[in-house]
Amino acid sequence: MEKREYKRYKTRQIVKVCGKLGVVNDISNSGILLSTAFSPKDRKLDISIDANGGEINLIGFVAWVKWKKQLKSLNEMGVMIKDAPPEYLEFVKKLQMA
C-alpha cells in the first residue's frame, strides 16, 4: 500500500538550492528528493527550477537528510514543498506525461 498522497516521478534536473547547485532525483506535487554537495543549515530551503521556459521558485522544508557513505561530499534530502505554485504543479504534470 502506497503511503504517499502523490506519485513520485524519476527525473534528473539541476536546480539551485539556497543559491547552490543541486540535483532533483525524483519529484511529486508535494515534495522533491534532492542531492546536494552541502548540508542545509536550516530546514527552510529556497529552490529554483528552470522549467517550462522560465524559472519556478519554491519554498521547501527539509524532512530528512541522508549522508552517502561512499560519496562523503554528497547528501540526499527529502524536501516538502510548501504552497506549490501552479507552474510547479504543471511542471510535475508534464513529467508524468513524459
pLDDT band at 64 (very low <50, low <70, confident <90, very high): very high
pTM of the model: 0.86
Total domains present in the chain: 1
Would 79 be classed as within a structural domain? yes
Please report, for the domain that includes residue 58, its CATH number.
Answer: 2.40.10.220
Pairing of strands 44-51, 31-36: unpaired
Tell me the residue range of the domain where 68 lies.
9-97
- pLDDT (tens digit per residue) in 7-28: 889 999 999 999 999 999 999 9
Would 91 be classed as within a structural domain? yes
